[in-house]
Chains A and B, each alone.
Chain A
Amino acid sequence: MTAVSSRQQLNYIAAQAADARVNLEIETEGMTLNIGPQHPATHGTLRIVAKLDGEQVIAADPVMGYMHRGYEKLSEVRTYPQVTTLINRIDWLGSFANEVPFILAAEQLMEVEAPPRAQWIRTVLFEMSRIANIVLFLGDMAVQVGAVTPIFFAFRDREHILNQIEAATGGRFHPNFDRIGGLKDDLPKGWTVETKQVMKKMRSFCDEIEGLVMGNEIFQARTRGIGVVPPDIGLSYGLSGANIRGSGVDWDVRRDGTTGAGGLVHDELDWRVWTHPDGDSFSRFWVRLQEVRESTKMVDQLLDGLPSGSIMAKVPRIIKVPAGEAYVETENPLGVMGYYVVSKGGLVPFRVKIRSASFNNMSITPWLLTGVYVPDIITILGSLYFILGDIDR
């Protein structure tokens, strides 16, 4: 065995460098990969054009608009009560929560306040739509990493919640139940007892998912340290909800709201805001799981303390909203959702700006997906959790 001379060593290094240069030249040619618009991971019709260098993403460009329905324009030709029918369809998994900020904005302009019972029932349904929405996420996230069973558990247990929402409102997916000044109807007989049982089921579902998915080695390997969002970057993109709380930002509009969201009663409940310091896909999943648990506790407390009385304030039958502008935002299942409503005193809004959570949550993807590997695109998109109707509006 002869010692390698320094000249041989230099030759070897030079050859490696030449190889690397050749590789580089081949790789820079790259490849463009279209994910979607009909991909299961895109929750609808989102398309992501990813430029790849081998297995690595060098640029990602989401393409939206396949489901743009123009709700802002359509709202300008509909009366206030008719608008709630449209906006139910923004985030279709937690429909009731879409109605609340719009109704609150209209109430703020009309200077109407819903009676206490209506506010409490509103909060119950608001939290139940959060559970219905996020339960599906908990099952769906496991599908993104290849585990198919949890989604069936999620569909099975979400049905209990949807049944309760249907019993109270008449609509499984699109309740259209919130009214300016109150609610459409009171709760049916025996509903509170049944709902409490359902909440127990949801808590055991959370335990089940925690054992089945979160402790799983493969799940951890696919989500830990993947898609890390630093808090300052997240805030400048306007991330909200569990996406920003997963980055350790302790901010929840239910507790820290700056707009006059007087129509919900979270202040009177005993609950806490969960955060996770890591900022990766796993932490976003973890925060959402805790939020479902927290919501079930909130619903229990609300049902225990439900005040009696009327469910509708005195409002004219034909709703004319006085001229003015109001912005109300609430902490919806997907994040902060707000409506900027401009009224000219007529039957219809002059302008409605819909600030939906997923639009901002997805706007970080070009930044976040750059540099990740192809399989991680799917888990990152899954953990950011968007509903396409909430992006395209």
Chain B
Amino acid sequence: MIPLSSTDTVPANDAASDAADVAGVAATEESGAAAQAATDEIREAVLAELTAEMGEAVVGSHLAAGVDLTVRVTSDAWATAAVFLKEELGFAYFGFLSAIDWLPSPFGRDMDSQVDLTLEPSEPADPDLMEQGLAGGETRFQVLARVNDIVNHRAVTLKADVDEASMSVPSWVPVYAGANWHERETWEMFGINFVGHPGLRHIYLPGAFEGNPLRKDYPLLARRVKPWPGIVDVELMPTEEPDGADGADKADGADNRQGAEAAAAAAAETSDA
């Protein structure tokens, strides 16, 4: 083994970080019980600073104590919020940027079904039942992004509604260079435009591809031509009592199937005879 120069084996911050590690461990042990409260203070401070700066542009927020912070801003303030987080609050690290389509799948309960809808069609889902998640929302599409402050070890998930008429939000590329590919992916998968992006073009799909595959109303063709293989997983164990209507239906279905098989076997026997 060839020994390396001292600058390699001992990084510049070696001694300092060792000391910090020791101190950090001690601090964690001391404040073990108070850790929960401490994290909340950190997240509350982020929320307070965002609200103070952005004012009415912050239209919703959700703070899960000791878990996570989600803040929803107006789509106009989408880029300015990023600038403020990066420049003023030190959220230098770009995590990801994506979108959510809140439309209940028009393919009935296909996407979260207990029965196979290619065999047993059901009522289409009511689009009015659309329900947005944490920090609320009013539109079908929401963009979301996550940034970290790696010095103070805090992070925030940012959301914004996307106006369905224009389907566009300001781009984050001037703020976080890494948003470039993420916005290309979101544009391709959801059809959301990012105003100010240097070149929105396909990233995964071929150039002539039509449609936005991650939209809920884009059918997953594999599911249209083949039954859902997961159907086998939701059958009840023989010992379990069926609970609720679904379970009863399943049990009935299973009985029927057995009955049908028995009948078929009987028919086969009679025809043989």
A binding-site residues for B, Cβ under 8 Å: 64-65, 68, 70, 72-74, 76-79, 81-82, 108, 207, 210-211, 214-215, 232-233, 235-240, 248-251, 256-260, 267, 272-277, 286, 317-318, 324-327, 329, 336, 338, 340, 342, 344, 346-348, 350-351, 353, 355, 359-360, 363-364, 367, 392
Which of B100, B150, B206 gathers the greatest number of chain A CB atoms within 10 Å?
Answer: B150
Q: Which 5 A-B pairs have the closest CB atoms?
A: A215-B2, A346-B112, A65-B204, A237-B178, A238-B178
Measured CB to CB, the closest approach of chain A to B148, in angstroms, equals 6
- The complex places the Cα of A260 from the Cα of B114 at a distance, in Å, of 31
Does residue B84 face the partner (Cβ distance < 8 Å to A)?
Answer: no
Q: How far is the CA of A214 from the CA of B153 in the complex (A)?
A: 33
B8 near A325 with CB under 8 A, answer: no
* Contacting residues, chain B, for A73 (C-beta < 8 A): 213-214, 220
Q: Are B153 and A256 in contact (CB under 8 A)?
A: yes
Distance A253 CA – B237 CA, assembled complex (angstroms): 40
For residue B4, CB closer than 8 A to chain A, the reply is yes
Residues from chain B with Cβ under 8 Å of A325 in the complex: 70, 133-134
A277 and B92 contact, CB distance less than 8 A: no
Closest to B28 in A: A267
Q: B234 and A347: CB pair below 8 A?
A: yes
A338:B95 contact, CB within 8 angstroms: yes
Please report which residues of chain B, range 23-72, place their CB below 8 angstroms from some CB of chain A when the two chains form the complex. 28, 66-68, 70
Knowing A237-B94, A260-B66 touch, does A286 contact B204 (C-beta < 8 A)? no
Flag B129-171 by CB within 8 Å of A: 1 or 0 each: 0010110000000001010101001110100000000000000
Chain B residues near A348 (CB-CB < 8 A): 111-112, 230
Contact A250 B95 (CB under 8 A): no
A257 and chain B: residue at smallest CB distance? B153
Residues of B within 8 A of A (CB): 1-2, 4, 7-8, 11-13, 17-18, 21, 28, 66-68, 70, 86, 92-96, 98, 100-101, 110-112, 114, 131, 133-134, 144, 146, 148, 150, 153-155, 157, 175-178, 180-182, 189, 202-206, 213-214, 220, 223, 228, 230, 233-234, 237, 240
Which residues of B are found within 8 Å of A260, using beta-carbon distances? 66-68
Could you tell me the distance in whole angstroms from the C-beta of A197 to the nearest C-beta in chain B?
Answer: 21
B93 touches A238 (CB 8 A): yes
Q: Smallest Cβ distance from A360 to chain B, in angstroms?
A: 6
> Contact partner of A324 among B112, B134, B175, B202, CB < 8 A?
B134
* Residues on the B chain within 8 Å of A360, using CB: 94, 96, 178, 181
Q: Which residue of A lies closest to B150 (CB)?
A: A251
Residue in A64, A236, A342 whose CB lies within 8 Å of B133: A342
Smallest distance from the beta carbon of B134 to chain A beta carbons, Å?
5
Q: Chain B contacts of A257 at CB under 8 A?
A: 153
Query: Contacts A233-B177, A363-B178, A367-B177: A210 and B1 contacting too (C-beta < 8 A)?
Result: yes
For the complex, what is the distance from the CA of A265 to the CA of B156, rounded to whole Å?
24
CB of B95, distance to nearest CB on chain A (Å): 6
Q: Are A77 and B228 in contact (CB under 8 A)?
A: yes
How far is the CB of A65 from the nearest CB of chain B, in Å?
4
A233 contact set on B, CB distance < 8 A? 177
Q: Across the interface, do A65 and B4 meet the contact criterion of CB distance under 8 Å? A: no
Is A238 a contact of B95 with CB atoms below 8 Å?
yes
| CB<8 Å pairs between A and B, sample of 7 | A77-B228, A108-B67, A233-B177, A237-B177, A258-B148, A258-B154, A347-B112
Which chain B positions have C-beta within 8 A of A72? 189, 214
* Interface pair A272/B21, CB less than 8 Å apart: yes
Is the pair B176, A327 in contact by a Cβ cutoff of 8 Å?
no
Task: Across the interface, name the chain A residue whose C-beta is closest to B12.
Answer: A277
Chain B residues closer than 8 Å to A249, beta-carbon distance: 150
Which residues does chain A contribute within 8 Å of B175, judged by CB atoms?
A: 236
B93 touches A235 (CB 8 A): yes
In the complex, which residues of chain A have a beta carbon less than 8 angstroms from the beta carbon of B153? 256-258
Who on chain A is nearest to B100 by CB?
A351
Contact assessment for A276 and B11 in the assembled complex, using a CB-CB cutoff below 8 Å: yes
Q: Would you give the shortest CB distance from A327 to chain B, in whole angstroms?
A: 6
**How far apart sit A47 and B9, CA to CA, in the bound complex (Å)?**
36
Known contacts A272-B17, A363-B181; decide if A76 and B111 are in contact (CB<8 Å). yes
A259 engages B213 (CB within 8 Å): no
The interface residues of chain A lying within 8 Å CB-to-CB of B230 are: 77-79, 82, 347-348
A64–B203 CB distance below 8 A = yes
Q: Which residue of A lies closest to B131 (CB)?
A: A344
Contact A211 B1 (CB under 8 A): yes
Report the nearest A residue to B17, measured CB to CB: A250
Contacts of A259 in B (CB 8 A): 67-68, 155
A386 to B189 alpha-carbon distance, docked (Å): 23
A350 to B234, CA, bound (A): 18
Q: Are A327 and B233 in contact (CB under 8 A)?
A: no
Whether A274 touches B213, Cβ cut-off 8 Å, given contacts A82-B230, A342-B133, is no
**A351 near B154 (CB under 8 angstroms)?**
no
